[in-house]
Amino acid sequence: MDLGLAECICLITGSTGGIGLETANLLRAEGATVVTTGRSGGDVKADLSEAGEPERVVEETLERHGRLDVLVNNVGYSEIRKLEDVTDDIWQASFEINLMSAVRATRAALPEMRERGAGTIVNVSSTAAKRPSTGMPDYSVMKAALLSFSRLVADLYAKDGIRCNAVTPGPTATGAWLGEGGLADQQGERDEVLAKVGAGRPLGRLAQPEEIAAVIAFLCSPRASYVTGAAWSADGGTVPIIV
């Protein structure tokens, strides 16, 4: 299905691996021009946990391409911790990367989008935002705040032709979970942890990054033109719908 993304200019944060990279590949396959970014490289190298860096990435995208049609705020980070072990410094670091990176990039992108009267923003949150993970307390809180921010942007700027939605993935088979020292290793023997985590989903497995990317790509596209202010679960049925 043609998503109607040909010739769109898209910026994806945290896109040198995992869900972000899969999303970049999918949008490019749809004919979009994609700007990738990450600490280790991408089209624009940046540490988005630092104030000023999200703004710089947006500004460089606008300088290179003249406009920004789609912003995907995907960058994020978590470690397994007990709530009582989360220090003030850890809370602050989580705040900067998991929430403020999206706030700053969005704030930088909005003026140009409003001037054109069009734009799409997708924030990659987490199933932990809807039902907090006891092993990732700071991450859960920041990703919940990101859902609130997404709804706020959707409400404020719909009149300007801007849509804003969120995606809430469950555990996904990326380096964050599968890599050496990653979330699985932090909880015990890797294969046993991954088997247990997978069994905890109604679908019985972790997501593949391309499955999450497909949801993001749809929300980025004109095919989702009547969707805004939503938080789309892509978690294998983990968190039930609350009516």
Find tokens 């932990």 and name the residue.
Answer: 128
Q: Is 226 a catalytic residue?
A: no
Determine the Cα angle at 117 with ends 111 and 120, to 5°: 80
Joined together, the tokens standing for residue 59 give 């500004």
Query: At 3, phi and psi to the nearest 5?
Result: -85, -5
Catalytic residue of the set 77, 139, 157, 226: 139
Beta bridge partners, 119, equal: 162
Type of residue found at 4: G
Contact (Cβ atoms closer than 8 angstroms) between residue 173 and residue 209: yes
- Whole-number Å distance between alpha carbons of 170 and 43: 28
Beta bridge partners, 168, equal: 233
Query: In 3D, which of 167, 76, 77, 53 has the Cα closest to residue 121?
Result: 167
Beta bridge partners, 36, equal: 12
Provide the annotated active-site residues.
139
